[in-house]
Chains A and B, each alone.
Chain A
Amino acid sequence: MAHLFFFYFAGVIVLTSILVVALRNPIYSALSLLIMFFHVAGLYVTLHAEFLAAVQIIVYAGAILVLYLFVVMLLNLKREERYHAQFPIGALLGLTIVTEVLLLAFHGSSPPEPAPSGTSTPATNGVTEVAGVTDAVAGPALSAVEGNTETIGESLYTTYLFPFEVASLILLVAMIGSIVLAKKDIFEQQ
């Protein structure tokens, strides 16, 4: 039954990922990317990573996809009449990733190195679970009844207070940079 959830989410992710690159209309590609983002969020939920699921939906499905759609509309992309000739690079990258996955599937059956402390950080937790797919299905983190949002919050707002405030500063810089770049473009157009 737990496998059923995993295979549903994984199957839809694979299918919609293929559709993203195979569909000729860029708007349809973006919409299948939206479905993929939601199913990745579902996969995170089965991995007990609720915070990542929320980030996935709010940031990726909410904001990043809007950026993609805006780029499509700004550039006025019509239907692609033919596929781009990027086959050699694509084949090389695909082969690399397939090799990696196969290595993980057949040699990585022993669980990866556990985190040094008892309560591993959620990020590494997610990575190890994704690395060992069989472990992920069995659900190793299920003993943690408290959601990982609490864990993230407690460490982020006490131990990692300074990086948190620096993140705010970085976002401020990003905002100023985007305004400067975009305004310059507009002034040049006028």
Chain B
Amino acid sequence: MSGSELLLDYLARYFPVLLFIGVALAFGVVTLAISYLVQPKYPETEKLSPYECGSEPFSDARMPFPVRYYIFAMLFVIFDIEVIFLYPWAVVFDNIGLIGLVEMLVFIGLFVVAYVYAWRKGALEWD
């Protein structure tokens, strides 16, 4: 087999992923397209104005977010990187055995320390 055929054979294993992406895209596009095609169109200024729970819009939607949200984003990034380390660990878990379990427990233990610190410092509070 040539390199090109090997690559195709390899990519064929990604067909389920492709199917997922296709279905997700099609769901969004088809839903919007159908609602666009079948909706009755009687535009009025009042109908086209931004709607939120029936109250009148009183300011621009683009207002600065509180800086508090950024702490959550940063904590999310750090725990996301922890997940990245869990992924190859889970893949090779059968080969590394008990030592692998212990070292991952140490790894997660340090993250628990970080989590407790964040909790005690009130970084997760919303006062």
CA distance A61 to B68 in the complex (A): 22
User: Which residues 71-109 of B have a CB within 8 angstroms of A?
Assistant: 71, 73-78, 80-85, 87-89, 91-92, 95-96, 99-100, 103-104, 106-107
Chain A neighbourhood of B77, CB < 8 A: 59, 63-64, 66-67
Determine if A157 and B96 form an interchain contact, defined as CB atoms under 8 angstroms apart.
Answer: yes
CA distance A66 to B107 in the complex (A): 25
Determine if B88 and A152 form an interchain contact, defined as CB atoms under 8 angstroms apart.
Answer: yes
Q: Which of B64, B82, B92 contacts A73 (CB 8 A)?
A: B64
Is residue A74 within 8 Å, beta carbon to beta carbon, of the partner chain? yes
User: Which residues 137-190 of A have a CB within 8 angstroms of B?
Assistant: 138-140, 142, 147, 149-150, 152-154, 156-158, 161, 164-165, 167-169, 171-172, 174-176, 178-179, 182-183, 185-186, 189
Determine if B8 and A51 form an interchain contact, defined as CB atoms under 8 angstroms apart.
Answer: no
Determine if B68 and A142 form an interchain contact, defined as CB atoms under 8 angstroms apart.
Answer: no
Chain B neighbourhood of A1, CB < 8 A: 4, 7-8
Is residue A127 within 8 Å, beta carbon to beta carbon, of the partner chain? no
Is residue B47 within 8 Å, beta carbon to beta carbon, of the partner chain? no
Please classify the interface of chain B as helix (H, G, I), strand (E, B), loop, or mixed, using the class held by over half of its residues.
helix
Q: Which of A58, A66, A183 contacts B73 (CB 8 A)?
A: A66
Is residue B53 within 8 Å, beta carbon to beta carbon, of the partner chain? no
Chain A 72-107, CB-CB to B under 8 Å as 1, else 0, gives 011110100000000000000000000000000000
Chain B neighbourhood of A73, CB < 8 A: 64-65, 69
Determine if A171 and B111 form an interchain contact, defined as CB atoms under 8 angstroms apart.
Answer: yes
Is residue A11 within 8 Å, beta carbon to beta carbon, of the partner chain? no
A61 to chain B, nearest CB (A): 11
The answer to whether A59 and B65 touch (CB under 8 A), given A149-B87, A182-B70, is no
In this complex, what residue of A is CB-closest to B106?
A: A165
A183 to chain B, nearest CB (A): 6
A168 to chain B, nearest CB (A): 4
User: Which residues 102-141 of A have a CB within 8 angstroms of B?
Assistant: 138-140
The answer to whether A74 and B67 touch (CB under 8 A), given A167-B85, A171-B111, A172-B114, is yes
Please name 9 pairs of A and B residues whose Cβ atoms are closer than 8 Å in the assembled complex, sorted by A.
A46-B7, A51-B88, A59-B77, A149-B87, A150-B91, A152-B88, A157-B88, A157-B100, A183-B121
B residues with CB within 8 A of A: 3-4, 6-8, 10-11, 14, 62-65, 67-71, 73-78, 80-85, 87-89, 91-92, 95-96, 99-100, 103-104, 106-107, 110-111, 113-114, 117-118, 121-123
The 4 closest A-B pairs by CB, nearest first: A153-B92, A153-B88, A76-B64, A63-B80
A residues with CB within 8 A of B: 1-2, 5, 45-46, 48, 51, 54-55, 58-59, 62-64, 66-67, 70-71, 73-76, 78, 138-140, 142, 147, 149-150, 152-154, 156-158, 161, 164-165, 167-169, 171-172, 174-176, 178-179, 182-183, 185-186, 189
